C-alpha cells in the first residue's frame, strides 16, 4: 500500500526539489531514446553542440530508454522504473535485517523505511540514487549470507552487485565495507574471505577503468573560459569532498542535523529512535559499524551532503533499524500501542513529505514548451532566466533543446555574441518582466514576446541567426 500510494505523484512533469539533477537524468534517457543507446556516450543538454559529458555510468538511464522503446517516452514510465529500484533496495534491506536480527524486526524496519520523508519523495523521482542503493544492499546481503554460510555463489553475487553499485554511484556502496568487515570477524571467516579477496578486483578494477575513461572524456570538453561559472567536469575533488575547514564549522553540521532529523528520520520516527537507544540492540557491533560507515561516508563526501539532501539517503537504513528496535521496546511494555505508534509514525512522516516536497514549476514548464514550439530541434538555444548558470538544464531539458544558460545578473553582449559566432547559438531566450536596458543597444532583431500565464514575466525570443552584430 505504501508503494502504491506513490502513484499519486506519477505526473508527466518533473517536480521539486532538485529538479536540476532530475532534468539531467531525464535528458540522458531522452537522448538515448531518440539517438540510440550508447552508455559510453551519454549527452547533456547544457553543453551546446558538444553535449558529451559523463556524470555517472548511465545504466539506469539506458534501461529506461529501453522501456521507452516498448511504451513510448513517458515520465510515469521512468518513475515506475525508479520506483522498482527503490522496491529492490527495500527488498534487500528486509533480507539483510531478517538475516541479522530476525523476521519481526525486518518487517517493522521495512515498513518504517517506506515512510521516511526522503524515501517518500526520491523513491519515485527521476533519480538514479536508489538504483545504486539497491545494488549496494544486494552486495551487502549476498556478502553476509555468503560469508555466514561459506557459499561461493553468494560471494560471486555480492561481487557482481558491487560492480554495478560502484559504476552507478560509488558513494552509496563503499562505506558498507565496514559492516562487511565486522561481520567477517563476527563469523570467524577471515581466512575464508582472504582466500577469495582477489574476486573484488572486478568491481575495483571496473570502477578504476571507468573513472579513467570519464576523466578522458570530460577533459576533452571545450575550455569556455568566457562563460561565467563554467568549469570542466574533469576535476571534481572540491565538489565531492569540499574543504576540511568546512568540517570544523557549525553551520554545515546544523544543516545536516536538521535534515537528518526532519527529512531522513522524519517527525514520526523520532520517538522510536529514542526508545531504540534505551536498550542495547542485539549484535550491536554489526549495527554500529553500519552507523559508523555512514558517518565516515558523510565526512568524506561532505560537500555533496551539505549541498544536496538526497545524499542523506544512506542514513535511512540505520534509522529504520533503530526505529524498529524502538518499536520492539514499546511492544515489550505496552504491546497494544504498537500498531497505533507505527501507524501514527507513518502518517506523520508522510504528511511532512507531502508538505515539503512535490512542488510543481508551471513557469519552467511553460517556458520550455514555448521554446520547443518556436524553435527547431537542431537550434542551439541560449537561456537567460534568473540565476541559472551555464550548466543548468532546467529550461533546456523541458524545451528538449541543447544550448547554454546565462545568469541574468551577469549578461554581457560579448558572451552572447561569441556563443553565436564561435559555437553556433541560433536563439536567445530571455525571461523577465522587461528586457535589461543595455539590450536595446546590442542591435538584436525584434523579439517574439510571449506573456507567461503562470508568472508576471514574459519570454523574449531573439533569432541570433539574424543578428547583425556589426
Write out the three cell numbers for 345: 509514525
Give the end of a domain, one of 319, 340, 356. 356
Residues 427 and 321 in one domain: no
User: What's the mean pLDDT in 403-416?
Assistant: 93
pLDDT band at 334 (very low <50, low <70, confident <90, very high): low
Q: What is the pLDDT of residues 53-77, one digit of tens each?
A: 998 999 999 999 999 999 999 999 9
Q: What is the pLDDT of residues 1-15, one digit of tens each?
A: 788 889 989 998 999
8 Å CB contact between 217 and 54: yes
Residue 234 lies in a domain: yes
Average pLDDT taken over every residue of the chain: 93
Q: What 3 state SS string does the chain have? A: CCCHHHHHHCCCCCCECCHHHHHHHHHHHHHHHHHCCCCCCCECCCCCCCCECCCCCCHHHHHHHHHHHHHCCCHHHHHHHHHHHHHHHHHHHHHHHHHHHCHHHHHHHHHHHHHCHHHHHHCCCCCCHHHHHHHHHHHHHHHHHHHHHCCHHHHHHHHHHHHHHHHHHHHHCHHHHHHHHHHHHHCCCHHHHHCCHHHHHHHHHHHHHHHHHHHHHHHCCCCCCCCCCCCCCCCCHHHHHCCHHHHHCHHHHHHHHHHHHHHHHCHHHHHHHHHHHCCCCCCHHHHHHHHHHHHHHHHHCHHHHHHCHHHHHHHHHHHHHHHHHHHHHHHHHCHHHHHHHHHHHHHHHHHHHHHHCCECCHHHHHHHHHHHHHCCCCCEEEEECCCCCCCCCHHHHHHCCEEEECCHHHCCHHHHHHHHHHHCEEEEEEEECCCCHHHHHCCCCCCEEEECCCCCCEEEEEEHHHCCCC
User: What's the mean pLDDT in 436-443?
Assistant: 91
CA distance 397 to 20: 10
The per-residue pLDDT for 103 is 96
CA distance 293 to 314: 10
Q: What is the pLDDT of residues 7-47, one digit of tens each?
A: 989 998 999 999 999 999 999 999 999 999 999 999 999 99
Residues 380 and 430 in one domain: yes
User: What's the mean pLDDT in 131-147?
Assistant: 98
Residues 85 and 163 in one domain: yes
Write out the three cell numbers for 22: 532530475
- Is pLDDT at 236 greater than 90 in this prediction? no
Write out the three cell numbers for 165: 553499485
8 Å CB contact between 380 and 406: no
The per-residue pLDDT for 410 is 82
- Is pLDDT at 238 greater than 60 in this prediction? yes
- Is pLDDT at 337 greater than 80 in this prediction? no
Enclosing domain of residue 174: 75-356
Residues 146 and 237 in one domain: yes
Residue 271 lies in a domain: yes
Closest CA to 448 of 463, 432, 438: 463
Residue 69 lies in a domain: no
User: What's the mean pLDDT in 128-147?
Assistant: 98
pLDDT band at 393 (very low <50, low <70, confident <90, very high): very high
Residues 444 and 368 in one domain: yes
Q: For the chain, give the longest Cα–Cα distance.
A: 83
Q: Count of residues for the chain? A: 470
- Is pLDDT at 295 greater than 90 in this prediction? yes
Q: What is the pLDDT of residues 244-291, one digit of tens each?
A: 899 999 999 999 999 999 999 999 998 888 888 888 888 999 999 999
8 Å CB contact between 278 and 309: no
The per-residue pLDDT for 332 is 63
Residue 104 lies in a domain: yes
Residue 64 lies in a domain: no
Q: Which position has the grid cell 543597444?
A: 441
Give the end of a domain, one of 356, 389, 418. 356
pLDDT band at 239 (very low <50, low <70, confident <90, very high): confident
The per-residue pLDDT for 335 is 65
Would you call the peptide bond into 321 cis, given omega within 30 degrees of 0 as the criterion?
no
Residues 346 and 224 in one domain: yes
Residues 429 and 381 in one domain: yes
Residues 226 and 375 in one domain: no
8 Å CB contact between 45 and 397: yes
The per-residue pLDDT for 428 is 97
Residues 272 and 163 in one domain: yes
Residues 117 and 193 in one domain: yes
- Is pLDDT at 233 greater than 90 in this prediction? no
Residue 437 lies in a domain: yes
What Cα–Cα distance (Å) separates residue 19 from each residue in 86, 216, 265, 442?
Answer: 19, 28, 22, 33
The per-residue pLDDT for 178 is 97
User: What's the mean pLDDT in 301-328?
Assistant: 95
Give the end of a domain, one of 356, 376, 403. 356
Residues 279 and 316 in one domain: yes
User: What's the mean pLDDT in 236-244?
Assistant: 87
Residue 67 lies in a domain: no
- Is pLDDT at 409 greater than 90 in this prediction? no
Residue 18 lies in a domain: no
Residues 245 and 385 in one domain: no
Question: Number of folded domains in the chain?
Answer: 2
- Is pLDDT at 469 greater than 60 in this prediction? no
| Crossing angle (nearest 10°) for helices 103-115 and 75-101 | 150
- Is pLDDT at 470 greater than 60 in this prediction? no
Amino acid at each position: 500500500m505504501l508503494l502504491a500510494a506513490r502513484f499519486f505523484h506519477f505526473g508527466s512533469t518533473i517536480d521539486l526539489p532538485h529538479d536540476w539533477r532530475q532534468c539531467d537524468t531525464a535528458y540522458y534517457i531522452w537522448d538515448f531514446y531518440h539517438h540510440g543507446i550508447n552508455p559510453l556516450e551519454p549527452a547533456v543538454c547544457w553543453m551546446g553542440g558538444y553535449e558529451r559529458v559523463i556524470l555517472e555510468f548511465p545504466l539506469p538511464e539506458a534501461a529506461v530508454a529501453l522501456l521507452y522503446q516498448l511504451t513510448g517516452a513517458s515520465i510515469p514510465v521512468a518513475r515506475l522504473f525508479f520506483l522498482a529500484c527503490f522496491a529492490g533496495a527495500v527488498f534487500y534491506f528486509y533480507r539483510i535485517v531478517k538475516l541479522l536480527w530476525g523476521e519481526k524486526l525486518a518487517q517493522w524496519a521495512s515498513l518504517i523505511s517506506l515512510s521516511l520523508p526522503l524515501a517518500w519523495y526520491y523513491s519515485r523521482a527521476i533519480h538514479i540514487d536508489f538504483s545504486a542503493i539497491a545494488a549496494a544492499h544486494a552486495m551487502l546481503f549476498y556478502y553476509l549470507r555468503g560469508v555466514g554460510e561459506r557459499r561461493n555463489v553468494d560471494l560471486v553475487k555480492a561481487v557482481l552487485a558491487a560492480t554495478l553499485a560502484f559504476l552507478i554511484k560509488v558513494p552509496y556502496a563503499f562505506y558498507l565495507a565496514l559492516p562487511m568487515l565486522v561481520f567477517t570477524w563476527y563469523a570467524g571467516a577471515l581466512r575464508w574471505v582472504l582466500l577469495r579477496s582477489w574476486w573484488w578486483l572486478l568491481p575495483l578494477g571496473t570502477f578504476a577503468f571507468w573513472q579513467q575513461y570519464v576523466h578522458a572524456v570530460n577533459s576533452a570538453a571545450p575550455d569556455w573560459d568566457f562563460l561565467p561559472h563554467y568549469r570542466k567536469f574533469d576535476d571534481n575533488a572540491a565538489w565531492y569532498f569540499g574543504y576540511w575547514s568546512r568540517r570544523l564549522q557549525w553551520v554545515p553540521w546544523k544543516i545536516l542535523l536538521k535534515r537528518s532529523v526532519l527529512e531522513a528520520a522524519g517527525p514520526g520516527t523520532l520517538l522510536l529512535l529514542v526508545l531504540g537507544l534505551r536498550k542495547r540492540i542485539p549484535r550491536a557491533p554489526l549495527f554500529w559499524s553500519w552507523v559508523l560507515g555512514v558517518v565516515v561516508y558523510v565526512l568524506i563526501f561532505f560537500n555533496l551532503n551539505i549541498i544536496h539532501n538526497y545524499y542523506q539517503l544512506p542514513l535511512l537504513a540505520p534509522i529504520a533499524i533503530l526505529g524498529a528496535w524502538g518499536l520492539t521496546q514499546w511492544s515489550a511494555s505496552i504491546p497494544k500501542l504498537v500498531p497505533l505508534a507505527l501507524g501514527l509514525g507513518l502518517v506523520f512522516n508522510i504528511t511532512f513529505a507531502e508538505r515539503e516536497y512535490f512542488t510543481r514549476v508551471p513557469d519552467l514548464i511553460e517556458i520550455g514548451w514555448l521554446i520547443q514550439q518556436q524553435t527547431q530541434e537542431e537550434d542551439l538555444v541560449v537561456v537567460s532566466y534568473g540565476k541559472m548558470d551555464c550548466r543548468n538544464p532546467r529550461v533546456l531539458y523541458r524545451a528538449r533543446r541543447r544550448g547554454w544558460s546565462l545568469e541574468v545578473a551577469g549578461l554581457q553582449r560579448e558572451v552572447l555574441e561569441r556563443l553565436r559566432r564561435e559555437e553556433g547559438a541560433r536563439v536567445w531566450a530571455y525571461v523577465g518582466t522587461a528586457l535589461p536596458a543595455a539590450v536595446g543597444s546590442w542591435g538584436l532583431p525584434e523579439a517574439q514576446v510571449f506573456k507567461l500565464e503562470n508568472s508576471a514575466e514574459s519570454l523574449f525570443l531573439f533569432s541570433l541567426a539574424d543578428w547583425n552584430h556589426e
